[in-house]
Homo-oligomer: A and B are copies of this chain.
């Protein structure tokens, strides 16, 4: 085991044992250097590792403290789609969230992680509808939601416009374009945050985003059988989790 790995193990053990308490500073670099009889580089690498793991966090005016583990907000796993006066929604837990900034609509090459879901090739264009969502009372950003539509589909339709009217794009797809009834599939995964996601969601260093992705499938009309939209929702993985009941088969 590399020396920095051993130092990280020892510090992790001390945090777990409660020797260094949440919110308290750990010893300074030169004190740790002396304690472990090792180089500053080794100490820094060990501290960087535990910071990436979410156990430590830098202090504004210098030093490092034990991170207070936030309590995660539980999202009930919703395997149903609902409809209210605003349109379709997919989770009662976050139904109260609203767009905190005007949504943006752009046309761009499809990002690598969405290509396969939409059945597109690298370089193919998509319409991207971006929403920064949060609690309208506190103004805190809680989730980033981005819709991707293959660019050939919305061309010349209301789907390419910023305001798609009451009920949103799903109502338009079902009622005006005749692509419904729509069907959906959910996917939960995680990935490292981009710098922009880190800024918008105020993520601590190294914290990944928890992604809930929905694919929307048309069952009729010109788009029959195609995935007509992919919606990727990102949340702070240190603050959110998805809970679900388990029953005996």
Per-position contact with B for A186-229: 1 when CB-CB < 8 Å, else 0? 11111111110000000000111110001000000000000000
In the complex, what's the smallest C-beta–C-beta distance from A64 to chain B, in angstroms? 16
A186 contacts B246, CB within 8 Å?
A: yes
Q: Does A21 contact B (CB under 8 A)?
A: yes
Q: Does A77 contact B (CB under 8 A)?
A: yes
Q: Does A122 contact B (CB under 8 A)?
A: yes
| Chain B residues in 8 Å Cβ range of A214 | 246
A208 contacts B192, CB within 8 Å?
A: yes
A82 contacts B249, CB within 8 Å?
A: yes
Given contacts A17-B123, A54-B192, contact A69 B185 (CB under 8 A): no
Q: Can you list 26 contacts pairing A with B, beta carbon distance less than 8 Å?
A: A5-B195, A8-B195, A12-B194, A16-B108, A17-B123, A18-B109, A18-B122, A18-B123, A49-B194, A49-B195, A53-B192, A53-B194, A69-B112, A72-B189, A78-B246, A79-B245, A81-B246, A81-B249, A90-B246, A188-B241, A189-B237, A189-B240, A189-B242, A190-B210, A191-B237, A192-B208
